[in-house]
Amino acid sequence: MKVKLSIKRPYGDIVLEGESFNEIIENLKSLPEWINTIDSLILKPETPQAKKDMLKGVIEYTSEGPVIIVPRERLSDKEAIGLILYANDPNPLQPKEIARLFALSGRLSAGFGARLSELKNEGLILKDAGAYRLTVTGKNWVENFLSRLTSLGVET
């Protein structure tokens, strides 16, 4: 009998397979060491100040939450959702919170739910317990278009 165990991580799933439960248990003993190694290689620590500096001129932190201050035509709806999730990271957001911050940013979109589904299917966001957050790939995607925006000179 094959046994399979899947462990969710921010960057994807780690899957252990074995011929028996005992084999899985043996493999689990060394797992914490492997997870620390994998996490340190994939997840890069980020200071809150570095993130705020990167978002300067793009996101304004208000008492209501992060609000996009870039003109609507400079960003797609998917990029705007990515920015809101990035600015709120590491805290995930419920769809209604994303929609609220989206609206506060002046971005009313009838296709908002479809954009969330597309981002999820593209592997850029994860849905965990009903809330969304960026994957490691999603963070890299946001950082890439942020650097493109700032290199072009963001006009607010």
pLDDT per position as a tens digit, 47-59:
566 677 778 889 9
Can you give the pTM of this predicted structure? 0.68
Q: What percent of the chain has pLDDT over 90?
A: 26
**Letter string b/e over residues 59-90, b meaning 16 or more CB atoms within 10 A of that residue's CB:** beeeeebbbbbbeeeebebbbbbbbbbbbbbe
pLDDT in tens, 105-150: 888 767 788 999 999 999 999 988 899 999 888 988 998 888 887 7
Q: Which CATH code of 3.40.190.80, 3.40.50.620, 1.20.144.10, 1.10.10.10 fits the domain covering 48-152?
A: 1.10.10.10
For the chain, how many residues are written? 156
Looking at the chain, the domain(s) classified CATH 1.10.10.10 span 48-152
Helix (H, G, I), strand (E, B) or coil at 138: helix
Ramachandran region, residue 59 (left: φ > 0; alpha: ψ -120 to 50; beta: rest): beta
